[in-house]
Amino acid sequence: MRRVMAILREECRQWVTPAVSVIAEQMRSPFTVLISCIISLRTKDAVTAAASARLFERARDPATMLQLDQEEIASLIFPAGFYRTKARQIQEISHRLQDEFAGRVPDELDQLLSLKGVGRKTANLVVTLGYGKPGICVDTHVHRITNRWGYVVTRTPDQTEAALRSRLPPEYWIEINDLLVCYGQNRCLPVSPICSACRLAPWCERVGVVRNR
């Protein structure tokens, strides 16, 4: 796995870093990581980055966010997918953070998962990118690629997370998501991956690959 991770790091330098990771690096705030994750669901990275920037110009903490009404939040994050639903979730989350957590984003998975609209992917990103604590964020790319390699054999992202927690060395937990998102968007595509240019071919069993380039 050490060689695989080294190759992934080298290859991903040529592509754009996922928007949520850029926001985490620039703002260093668990709240902005959490909210940008909400915005990013079913939304392209470029849209996520622009929508998050507009929103965070107005509010970067729960108290300030609550000064905006849902329509204003919705207009700021448009055209993110399901922007009205996300605006409601952002406001509800901000209320709970103010009322129950003294305005602080929790750093434990169970507490994060209690927030409406927060799933394991988002919770793990907050823990890892927001707080720098160990965790493995498994999205569709991590789930697909690690199964395609044959490194894990699972049916769901939650199963993949559990399998990786038991097998993947902890030193790679935080970065695996960023690397495989980049690789999955640009090389190891869902349909017809570009295997001819893949430096990871020696470690890949191509499980489920019907056609490739």
Query: What pLDDT tens digit does each residue of the chain (213 aa) get?
Result: 999 999 999 999 999 998 899 998 888 899 999 999 999 999 999 999 999 999 999 999 999 999 999 999 999 999 999 999 999 999 999 999 999 999 999 999 999 999 999 999 999 999 999 999 999 999 999 999 999 999 999 999 999 999 999 999 999 999 999 999 999 999 999 999 999 999 999 999 999 999 999
List the CATH number of the domain containing 199: 1.10.1670.10
User: What's this model's pTM, rounded to 2 decimal places?
Assistant: 0.90
Beta strand spans in 44-190 (E)? none
Burial (0-12, 13-18, 19+ Cβ within 10 Å), 75: middle
**In this structure, which amino acid lies at residue 20?**
V
Whether 174 contacts 130, CB under 8 Å:
no
Number of Cβ atoms within 10 Å of the Cβ of 57: 9
Does residue 125 share a domain with residue 148? no
Q: Which of 69, 103, 131 is the last residue of a domain?
A: 131
Residue 210 domain-assigned? no
Strands (E), the chain: none
Query: Do 142 and 85 fall into the same domain?
Result: no
Domain count, the chain: 2
Sign of CA pseudo-dihedral 177, 123, 66, 103 = negative
Say if residue 28 is in the same domain as residue 126: yes
Residue 211 is assigned to a structural domain of this protein: no
Structural domain containing residue 150: 2-15+136-203
Encoded amino acid at 152, one letter: V
Residue 136: which of 120, 153, 117 has the closest Cα? Answer: 120
Coil, strand or helix at 41 = coil
